[in-house]
Chain A
Amino acid sequence: ILNVEQSPQSLHVQEGDSTNFTCSFPSSNFYALHWYRWETAKSPEALFVMTLNGDEKKKGQISATLNTKEGYSYLYIKGSQPEDSATYLCAFRNNFNKFYFGSGTKLNVKP
């Protein structure tokens, strides 16, 4: 069984706080690391697809970094807003095109 770990499991922050989550994954057979944002009763929404060691991607106030050698990725949210409340999932994609998901970080941003 391939382990993809996300931490923390849940996070409660105040509006305006910056926050970050971690996704750790195996460093072998790496093809890509995907981040998704998943709101209740909706489809997971793709945030980033990262493939190269050292990749940094940004979308609005959300950014992500990737370290494939040590097997981790960080997701940062600068100045969290209530609408950022969701579960953030990471998925490790291996060379055989299989996805392995973490259990997600549930973010709650209080106004």
Chain B
Amino acid sequence: GAVVSQHPSWVICKSGTSVKIECRSLDFQATTMFWYRQFPKQSLMLMATSNEGSKATYEQGVEKDKFLINHASLTLSTLTVTSAHPEDSSFYICSARDVVRTYGYTFGSGTRLTVV
């Protein structure tokens, strides 16, 4: 079945530094990638939608200059948290659409980001 590989699975960084999270679709082409974050005891919340070769669409309240999304190929999308602050500490997870299976959305395993 469709697999999305997400790295790193966890990362600790210092306040003010940037962190890059990668999501790769291993056996299908992901024209669309969704990025979510989940704060403790809350639901997964959509941050942005990226389409290969075009700019990402950000949800209301998500700063596009802080959360840089790049989807340069059909198998790779990256989320860079720039100038991270402790309030950015969260669980980030991506989801990609398998265009062959109309309803198929596959998740990565998530990244736990802690900013100290």
A contact set with B: CB distance below 8 Å: 4, 32, 34, 36, 41-44, 46, 49, 51, 89, 91, 98-104
Contact = CB atoms under 8 A, between A and B. Distances in A.
What are the nearest 10 A-B pairs in CB distance?
A: A101-B44, A49-B103, A44-B107, A103-B43, A43-B109, A43-B107, A101-B43, A42-B109, A43-B108, A102-B43
B4 interface: yes
A100 B59 CA distance: 12
B46 interface: yes
B9 A41 contact: yes
Given A100-B43, A103-B43, A104-B43, 4 more contacts: A43-B4, A44-B93, A51-B103, A102-B43
Contacts of B9: 41
A49 B109 CA distance: 20
A43 B44 contact: no
B58 interface: no
A72 to B, nearest CB: 17
A43 B34 contact: no
A89 B108 contact: no
A105 B13 CA distance: 31
A51 B43 CA distance: 22
B34 A99 contact: yes
Contacts of A103: 41-43
A104 B6 CA distance: 22
A9 B34 CA distance: 25
Interface in B92-109: 93, 95, 103-109
B21 to A, nearest CB: 14
A41 B107 CA distance: 12
A49 B4 CA distance: 19
Contacts of A43: 4, 6, 106-110
A102 B41 CA distance: 11
B104 A89 contact: no
A54 B9 CA distance: 39
Contacts of A104: 43
